[in-house]
């Protein structure tokens, strides 16, 4: 290992993995909602699918940018996962559909891991280099 290698804490790695998993789950739920919406000619299902695609793209892009030393990206993806989880709770209760809730909870756990002391220093740019 040379002096320029970046040592990434395990918590930061798992936070990024959970954000990626959340984006993938949102993408899968988007396909599901679009499939059901188009099959039943439901505008609600199609709209929920389009929104899920946008959320999946946003979580993926913001999760990738959170690895930069700028703490605003990490805060943005954390707030996005919190808001989506709250909206997922509403959808789960009203329509008995837990897909968005589970997808949001996975991202929210990743956000919690990103703010643990082991990962905080790395996401803030203080632990760059080995």
Instruction: Give 3-state DSSP helix, strand, coil % of the chain, rounded to 5.
Output: 80, 0, 20
62 within 8 A of 70, measured Cβ to Cβ: no
Which band of pLDDT confidence, cut at 50, 70 and 90, is reported for residue 59? very high
Mean pLDDT computed over every residue of the chain: 87
Global pTM reads: 0.84
3 has a pLDDT exceeding 70: no
Domain extent listing, the chain? 10-122
pLDDT at 126: 59
Q: Flag the least confident range among 15-19, 70-74, 121-125, 126-130.
A: 126-130
Mean pLDDT of 101-106: 92
Task: Identify the pLDDT of residue 30.
Answer: 93
Q: Give me the sign of the Cα torsion angle 41, 97, 95, 77.
A: negative
Handedness of CA 25, 22, 49, 101 (dihedral sign): positive
């Amino acid at each position: 290992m040379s002096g320029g290698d970046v040592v990434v804490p395990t918590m930061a790695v798992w936070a990024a993995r959970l954000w990626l998993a959340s984006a993938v789950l949102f993408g899968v739920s988007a396909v599901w909602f679009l499939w059901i919406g188009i099959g039943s000619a439901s505008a609600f299902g199609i709209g929920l699918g389009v929104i899920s695609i946008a959320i999946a793209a946003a979580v993926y892009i913001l999760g990738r940018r959170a690895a930069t030393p700028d703490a605003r990206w990490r805060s943005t993806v954390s707030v996005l996962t919190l808001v989506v989880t709250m909206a997922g709770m509403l959808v789960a209760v009203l329509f008995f559909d837990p897909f968005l809730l589970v997808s949001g909870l996975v991202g929210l756990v990743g956000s919690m891991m990103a703010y643990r002391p082991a990962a905080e220093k790395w996401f803030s740019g203080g632990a760059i280099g080995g």
